[in-house]
Amino acid sequence: MKFLIAGLGNIGNEYAHTRHNIGFDVVNAFVTKHKGTFRSARLAYVAEIKWKGKIFVCICPTTFMNLSGKAVKYWMDKEKIALENTLVIVDEVALPINKLRLKPGGSDGGHNGLTSVQESLGTTEYARLRFGIGNDYPKGMQSEFVLGKWRKEEEPLIMIKINKSVETIETFATQGITAAMNWINNQDFSL
């Protein structure tokens, strides 16, 4: 059983640990927990994790957010990973900061990374874990907010949610998407 775990973000130090790069941070946390290491490969940083009889091909695309789908499609095809075993992790302004939402498919919700994945895969029916970042920004400042760093007081909550996201990946792979959705979607995270 092979799984593709794709965390979306932008490469470059200026984007590190920004709200928009939470997909990278979640995948990094998963790989670190399972004692893996990333290598630079085609279109992505890639780590392979073996856990509970399963293989996880974990990628952080190096294509920048708007072309994330190229990397997702390439690694799905190269590793022969089924669509239903693919999970994409992204930031989500439409979700409050205390929420995570796992879905088996749906619209891109205006997220450029998801738009790219949808175009590359030719479907909206792939699992995605949406990491709520809230929308606490002045009108017209969404881009600055999304590309900004977490506020100091938000960081402990973000760490809790990153760890829960890692558990969600594990549940998705071991018990299936329905069990993972039932477990994570109704939780409210707080300190």
- Rounded Cα distance, 92 and 80, in Å: 28
Strands 127-132 and 54-61: unpaired
Q: pTM to 2 decimals?
A: 0.97
Around Cβ 104, how many Cβ atoms within 10 Å?
14
The CATH code that applies to domain 2-184 is 3.40.50.1470
Domain boundaries, the chain: 2-184
CA atoms of 86 and 47, how far apart (whole Å): 15
- Token pair 């970042």 is found at 133
Q: Which residues are catalytic?
A: 20
Summarize pLDDT for 41-69 with one digit per residue, the tens: 999 999 999 999 999 999 999 999 999 99
Q: What is the pLDDT of residues 75-104, one digit of tens each?
A: 999 999 999 999 999 999 999 999 999 999
Dist CA 101 CA 64 (whole Å) = 23
